[in-house]
Amino acid sequence: MSPLKISWKSLWSKPLSAALNMMLIAFGTGILTILLLASNQISEKLENNSKDIDLVVGAKGSPLQLILSSIYYIDFPTGNIPLKEAMELARSPFVKRAVPLALGDNYNGLRIVGTDTNFITLYKLKAAQGKFWEKDFETTIGAAVAKTQNLKVGDKFYGAHGLTDNADVHKNHEYVVSGILEPQGNVADNLILTNVASVWKMHDEHEDHDHEAEKHNHEDHEGHDHKAPTEVQANEESRELTSLLIQYRSPMSVAMFPRLVNETTNMQAASPAQESTRLFSLIGIGVDTLQWFAVLIMLIAAISVFVNLYNSLKERNYDLAIMRTLGASRTKLFMIVIAEGIMLTLAGTVIGVLLGHLILEFIGSNQESGQAQLTGFVLLYDEIYLFVAGLAIGIFAAIIPAIHAYRSNISKILAKN
């Protein structure tokens, strides 16, 4: 019979206190697992979404808000920028690629993004079904949009004004699904892409819709468009975009271009890398707090395992002495006690890691927004440190009782009874 079996049997002779200790360890490890997986996935998503974007140009305001609205599609945009000025920046020699974004509408909370083919190149999008948008009011939808909204190629839907609710539906024009994207693993999965003109037209209609008196003038709007190029021209002057995603031509642009934007125009430039880091450091405070909380629980668990082993050792003094008379060496007793500690904490760690994964998967599958969908079914290399920690706590908690067992004077113990 191996020392391991003796330790195992001894643990199970007191199932309640063994279970309590395992639960404490599992709770601590579970929290750490969730934190580890979630913060890893969030930072990965943040990076993944802003990977190829060097700079975002938008209306003055909070740079973080600009990044959140234009790259992660979470917050509201800072405002609009004039199309003319934006296009001047886009033609700057510092810029390799500029992607216009026109936001403002949603369909069941999913954002409708007016943009051009540069967006496709930037995010390296591929259509799984159908084709990319070409004409006005044609849309290409993300894989997650198709799935959650049950949309197929050829389906029609109405957009609603605003970014979140369905209160103000644009009934004048309906969008047509012309294509569905392959799953990208980034924000594009949750977007409805169309051309910028569609968004503009939708809002022309919208404003007209507000002015009931003028409504009849626009009943035959389509006709007007073709016949009156001047009107389009005039509109062109007052056209606006939400923001512009910029890819630099050369590293040198990093130093020059943001200053150019901030100083010579009425717009602001925000760097996704900088803002993401800032955002993550804000989240990081919460993560740190939870982390310390989990470490505290682990510490309490370690003390609890120690007390448990120490107390059971007092009761088992005689048992251990008997084992010595049966031929067990001091080292063997030491191993038996250490093994008990390690078994408790390792079992707790395994349960905790499993629970952490399951809970995160549960949280992920119940998430409302698909922007940063979390999943529990990933293994990280870093999780190995959790097991190392479990092992260390086991040894830490068991070492004093084990030394006691090693040093015990069996003649004294046996003589007492």
Partner 1 sequence: MISLKSVSHQYPGGLRIAFKDWQINNGDQWLLLGESGSGKTTLLHILTGILKPSAGDVQINETSIYNLSAKELDQFRGRNVGIIFQRPHLIKSLNISDNLVLAQSLAGLPTNLNRVNEVLTSLGIADKKKSYPNELSQGQLQRVSIARAVINKPALLIADEPTSSLDDKNATAVLELLLQQSGINQATLVVATHDKRVKDAFTNTYALS
Residues found near partner 1 in the complex (CB under 8 A): 1-2, 6, 9-10, 12-13, 318-319, 322-332, 410-411, 414-415, 417
CB 25 within 8 A of CB 345: yes
CB 337 within 8 A of CB 313: yes
Q: 45, 176, 60: which is closest to 107 by C-alpha?
A: 176
Closest CB to partner 1 among residues 38, 342: 342
Whole-number Å distance between alpha carbons of 27 and 30? 5
CB 268 within 8 A of CB 63: yes
Closest CB to partner 1 among residues 95, 405: 405
The residue whose two tokens read 């580890």 is 36
Closest CB to partner 1 among residues 1, 213: 1
CA 333 to chain centre: 48
- Least distance from partner 1 to the Cβ atom of residue 327, Å: 2
Closest CB to partner 1 among residues 6, 372: 6
- Least distance from partner 1 to the Cβ atom of residue 308, Å: 14
Q: 125, 145, 129, 140: which is closest to 190 by C-alpha?
A: 145
**Per-position DSSP letters for 215-244, written without gaps between them:** GGGGTTHHHHHHH-HHHHHHHHHH-EESEE
Closest CB to partner 1 among residues 10, 243: 10
Closest CB to partner 1 among residues 10, 186: 10
- Element (DSSP H or E) covering residue 398: helix 383-407
Structure-block tokens of residue 238: 């007052």
Structure-block tokens of residue 243: 């923001």
